[in-house]
Amino acid sequence: MKTFSRIAAGAMILATVATTSMAEDYPSQPIEVVTHASAGGGTDTTARTMLIRARRELGVDAFVQIKKGGGGAVAMSYASGKAADGHTLMAITPTHLITMARGRAPIGIDEIKGIARSTDDPIIIVVNKDTGIESLEQLIESSKSSPVKWGGTQAGGIDHIAAMTFANKSGAKVAYVPFDGGGAIITNLMGGNLQAAGLNYGEAVDGIESGDFVPLAIMAQERLAILPDTPTVGELGIDGVNFSTVRGVIVMKDVPADRAALLEEKLIKGMSHGTYQAYLSGIGLDASSVAGSEVWDAQIREMYDNIYTTLGELGLRK
């Protein structure tokens, strides 16, 4: 009996030691990255490419967990239901911010914390060269006699919000034509059905280089290194039109700060490796896409405010 209690006491001590060391030993189990989009899409490919090196940096396995539906709402309710121990990350895009702003998400903007940005692809306003338009002012002016046919993705999505925010702040008249995907927007801009569109650099590059598309302005704070002659919308005197196809990872804000900091450090180190950088240049981006918590978290919040306002003006917010 005595021997047994001694063994039991020993085992209890051991167990206590084990749990304490487990707590300090973070990460201790595979890291899960929750996404909202189907396998093979941009978000999925970005997350998977990011994880190739991140696994090695973190020293544990990492995998992508797809939870489709509700414009990210299903992914958000899944991720927010997991323990806030830093083993669950969520890859977010402007779609999630829109779902939050429309009041359809189980969580609000104040419940998340940005960890690292993985892509930042500002929207460029381009026109078909056959329109003869060469500057943003000309576009605004000519739209007043007949609204400019402007292509983008789903109504209520980021392209729509960007186009309408631009229209509101510049006075341009925009007839927004929604399409299923980026490919259809480009073919219709090329074929002359559309006069203008908000495109990412990777989508517009072929048309710009062949001279079929004319880039007028960039919806970002700074010019793009690859398009040094194209001004930002802000330079032309129209403020607060900053929209970008951004992707990045977040955690719930209850995750301990030291764990969040460790995640930030390791993920950024992983993304600075050649594998991820080659992916970035393949989609027409550069190393400036990758940014830490400070920049990324502020960007999420600025974009959220813009989205919230424009959705209200479009009557698409409750």
Partner 1 sequence: MDVLGGLLEILQPTTLLLIMAGTIVGVLVGALPGLSSSMAVALLLPFTIYLEPIPAIAMLAALYCAGTFGGSITAILINAPGAPPAAATAFDGYPLAKRGEAGKALGMAAVSSVAGGIFSLVVLILAAPALATIAYRFGPPEYFALTVFGLSMLASISGKSAVKNLIGGAFGVLLATVGVDLTTGVERFTFGVPQLYEGISFIPVLIGLFAMAELLDQAGQKDSPLERFNMSALKLPGLNDFKRVWKTILRSSGIGTFVGILPAEGSTVAAMMGYNEAKRWSKNKENFGKGEIEGVAGPEAANNAATGGAMVPTLALGIPGSATAAVILGGLQIHGLRPGPYLFENQPNLLYAIFFAMLIANFVFLGFGLIGAKHFSRISLIPRQFLWPTVFCLCVVGAYGVGQSMSDVYIMLVAGLIGYFLNRAGFSPAPIIMGLVLGHLVENSLAQSMILFDQDLGQFLSRPIALFFFALAILSIASSPLSAWLKGRRRADAPAYKDLNE
Residue 154 as a binder of partner 1 (CB under 8 A): the answer is yes
Long-range Cβ pairs for the range 64-70 (8 Å, 24+): 64/33, 64/35, 65/32, 65/33, 65/34, 65/35, 66/35, 66/36, 66/37, 66/38, 66/39, 67/34, 67/35, 67/36, 68/36, 68/37, 68/38, 69/36, 70/99, 70/104
Identify which of residues 262 and 314 has a Cβ nearer to partner 1 in the complex: 314
Answer for which of 103, 108, 132, 183 binds partner 1 (CB under 8 A) is 183
168 touches partner 1 by CB under 8 A: no
Question: Which residues from 86-115 bind partner 1, rule CB under 8 A?
Answer: 104
Report yes or no: 189 and 128 within 8 Å, Cβ to Cβ: yes
In whole angstroms, give the CA distance from residue 220 to residue 18: 50
Q: Does 175 bind partner 1 (CB under 8 A)?
A: yes
- Tell me whether residue 156 or residue 240 sits nearer to partner 1 (CB atom): 156
> Which one among 21, 29, 38, 221 touches partner 1, defined by CB under 8 A?
38
68/144 with CB nearer partner 1: 68
Pick the piece of the chain touching partner 1 (CB under 8 A) from 12-20, 21-29, 39-47, 108-116: 39-47
d(CA 100, CA 309): 13
Does 60 bind partner 1 (CB under 8 A)? Our answer is no
The reply on whether position 209 binds partner 1 by CB under 8 A is yes
Q: Name the burial class of residue 161, with classes exposed (0-12), middle (13-18) and buried (19+) by CB atoms within 10 angstroms of its CB.
A: buried
Q: From the CB of 48, what's the least distance to partner 1, in Å?
A: 5
**156 binds partner 1, rule: CB under 8 A:** yes
**Counting contacts by CB under 8 A, is residue 40 touching partner 1?**
yes
Please identify, using beta-carbon distances, which residue of 122 and 152 lies nearer to partner 1. Answer: 152
Query: Is 180 a residue that touches partner 1 (CB under 8 A)?
Result: yes
Q: Provide the minimum distance between the beta carbon of 179 and partner 1 in the complex, in angstroms, as a whole number.
A: 7
Q: Give the helix ranges, DSSP H, for the chain.
A: 2-24, 42-58, 73-81, 94-101, 136-145, 158-170, 182-190, 201-210, 257-271, 274-282, 293-314
Q: Is residue 22 a contact point for partner 1 (CB under 8 A)?
A: no
Helix H or strand E encompassing 113: strand 112-122
- Tell me the number of residues near partner 1 by CB under 8 A: 57
How far is Cα 197 from Cα 241, in angstroms, rounded to an integer? 15
* 272 scored as a contact of partner 1 (CB under 8 A): no
53 binds partner 1 (CB under 8 A): no
**Cα 224 to Cα 255: distance, rounded to the nearest angstrom:** 35
Regarding 278 and contact with partner 1 (CB under 8 A), the answer is: yes
227 forms part of the interface with partner 1 (CB under 8 A) = no
Pairing of strands 213-218, 88-92: unpaired
**Which residues of this chain interact with partner 1, rule CB under 8 A?**
38-42, 44-45, 48-49, 52, 65-71, 73-74, 77, 104, 149, 154-157, 160, 175-181, 183-184, 186-188, 190-191, 193-194, 202, 205-206, 209-210, 275, 278-279, 281-284, 314, 316
